[in-house]
Amino acid sequence: MLITFHTQAYADITLFGQVAQTLLRLMGHSGTVPGAILAEDIPEALAQLKAGTAAHPDAPAPGPARGEDDEEPPVSLSRRALPLIELLEAAARDRCNVMWDSQ
């Protein structure tokens, strides 16, 4: 499953379902899809997301288990969160709501 985040202040962001739901939970939401954050609630959600990813900056993003033969290191959750952080910052700056749904 893919989850796409929408706001009028920024281009749409699409993330893998497990990653998006983990990030939603870090923002203080249940992780249900579809969903939304009102403009006045975005600064708090953004602060919680930043704090949650900063607490464990190298934690791997959720996804399929990696085998010992994989040469590339897993992408961290904090790195996967960067586009969503940028979207939330733009939405906060322009006072826009953020919505998400599955594709």
pLDDT (tens place) for every residue of the chain, 103 residues total: 999 999 999 999 999 999 999 999 999 999 899 999 999 999 999 999 999 999 887 888 877 655 555 677 788 899 999 999 999 999 999 999 999 999 8
The pTM of the whole model exceeds 0.75: yes
Q: Where are the domains of the chain?
A: 2-60+78-102
* Tokens representing residue 81 in the block: 């969160």
Other beta carbons within 10 Å of 80: 21
In angstroms, rounded to a whole number, what is the distance separating the alpha carbons of residues 83 and 97? 16
How far is C-alpha 101 from the geometric centre of its chain's CA atoms? 13
In angstroms, rounded to a whole number, what is the distance separating the alpha carbons of residues 77 and 87? 16
